[in-house]
Amino acid sequence: MELEEIEVYGPNNADIRGGIITFNSTEIHPHDMGTALDQLGIAIRAGHHCAMPLATTLGLNATARASFYIYNTQDDIDQLISGVKKTLDYFSHGSKQPR
């Protein structure tokens, strides 16, 4: 997900990354991102993720986290990216709900 409004934390090397993608938007609080994506049927987590000392060290109030496993498909990833884009558009332009 290469969007200038999104910062992804962790290694860029997919061989060592694992199935958890932690990210933040420069425009939207993680809890708002989670709520908007939930309205689109996309489940993510928002908060400290049992890593509050790390979040504090990084100067973060919270982060958003998408978790993937063997049962996820490319379509799931595409839906997440599409949902994030719709959410960014909604919060940027104040238009209709992200649907």
- What residues are labeled active site? 50
Cβ–Cβ < 8 Å for 17, 11 = yes
> In sequence order, what are the beta bridge partners of 42?
none
Give the helix ranges, DSSP H, for 3-94.
14-17, 30-39, 52-58, 74-93
Give Cα 62 to chain centroid, integer Å.
11
